[in-house]
Amino acid sequence: MTSPRITLGEGNTPLVRSRRIGPAAGLANLHFKLESLNPTGSYKDRFAVAAVSRLLERGATHCLATSSGNTGAALAAACAVAGIPLHLAIVEPAPDDKLRQMLAYGATLHRLRGFGLDPETTAETFAGLRRLANRPGWSLEVSAYSVSPEGMRGVETISAELDEALDGRLDHVFVPAGGGGLCLAVARGFAPCQSTPSIHCVQPEGNDTIAGPLREGRDHGRRADPCATTISGLQVPNLLDANAVIAACRTSGGNGHPVPDASVYELQARLAREEGIFTEPAGAVALAGALQAAAAGEIDPEATIVCLVTGSGFKDGASLAKMADAGAVPLVGFAEFEAALG
């Protein structure tokens, strides 16, 4: 009998040491976990294969999900492998590049007005999706423990890989957050490991639902009303795993780090030009938090630090166009090319 377990070839992503950005900031042991190198270009593949494998075990016939891009692409690929139709409710500001990837895998998409921007609309959408998912054979999959705990357990494998790669010597992990599921998965994933690092939650200031409250000593998240960040993938104004994330990060000794969008875009470009790492803006958020913490003297410069790089630069064409304008490349003859080299 064939096992219902599927795989896309996810996981076992590279961990690389920073050669320029870390040393320039006085951080001797800064590393990047390249989750952008998963099959569909983000860490969400770990979630998708676990979630869809569970759907097959239960005999589900349809998958319903929400996405700003990466969850949708990962679930679309996994559902394609499993032969399960996927219906996606897309947040209004999702980049077209991410929509194209989902469509390429055969998913059915609808972009919902106000979803991902207005907290009331977002709450109403989630309530409606839960109702629709109650139909026989249907299942709602969202990359949050509050909705899809089986899928999120697949994300916990990141921690085991970090623990093994660094032989249990790890002090801090900086994690980007929208709804907070990734933060919580990383924190829980270290439970059986040698390492007991501090888990830090980093969010754009325009969607400061978890990081700010954590830093302020609060036990509960707060809604972003409205969500004002332009960082795709982290536009989650409502509280999904927020309170559990605050508790887990605080227990680990970690903190919250709200960062400005401008800093994120600057570091997206620096990662490419100084480290050879091609990431979407959300993948630079963790680094923004780590450098902010280092500048404030909140972490030991000799500590072993990992920043999660969560998604590929191909995910967000608009940010890529700002970082590198292909229209500025001149069309010349070889003589002009040779002359330009001096």
Q: pLDDT tens for residues 23-61?
A: 999 999 999 999 999 999 999 999 999 999 999 999 999
Amino acid identity for residue 106 in this structure: G
Q: What are the pLDDT digits (tens) for 264-311?
A: 999 999 999 999 999 999 999 999 999 999 999 999 999 999 999 999
* Residue 111: partners with Cβ closer than 8 Å, 6 or more residues away: 90, 91, 92, 94, 99
Task: Match 């219906």 to its residue by tokens.
Answer: 87
> Do 44-151 and 15-42+156-322 have the same topology in CATH?
yes
Pick the CATH number of 15-42+156-322 from 3.40.50.1100, 3.40.390.30, 1.10.150.20, 3.40.50.300: 3.40.50.1100
Answer yes or no: is pLDDT of 197 > 60.
yes
Per-residue pLDDT band for 93 (boundaries 50, 70, 90) equals confident
Domain boundaries, the chain: 15-42+156-322, 44-151
Q: What are the pLDDT digits (tens) for 217-269?
A: 999 999 998 889 999 889 888 888 999 999 999 999 999 999 999 999 999 99
Average pLDDT over residues 194-207: 97
How far apart, in whole angstroms, are the C-alpha atoms of residue 173 and residue 178? 16
Per-residue pLDDT band for 1 (boundaries 50, 70, 90) equals very low
What kind of fold does domain 44-151 have according to CATH? Rossmann fold (3.40.50)
Answer yes or no: is pLDDT of 145 > 60.
yes
Q: What is the pLDDT of residue 248?
A: 98
Answer yes or no: is pLDDT of 97 > 90.
no
Percent of the residues in the chain that have a pLDDT greater than 90, as a whole number: 85
Peptide bond into 14 cis (omega under 30): no
Average pLDDT over residues 168-182: 97
Per-residue pLDDT band for 15 (boundaries 50, 70, 90) equals very high
How far apart, in whole angstroms, are the C-alpha atoms of residue 44 and residue 147? 15
Task: Kindly state the tokens that stand for 150.
Answer: 């089986």
How far apart, in whole angstroms, are the C-alpha atoms of residue 277 and residue 33? 10
Amino acid identity for residue 228 in this structure: A
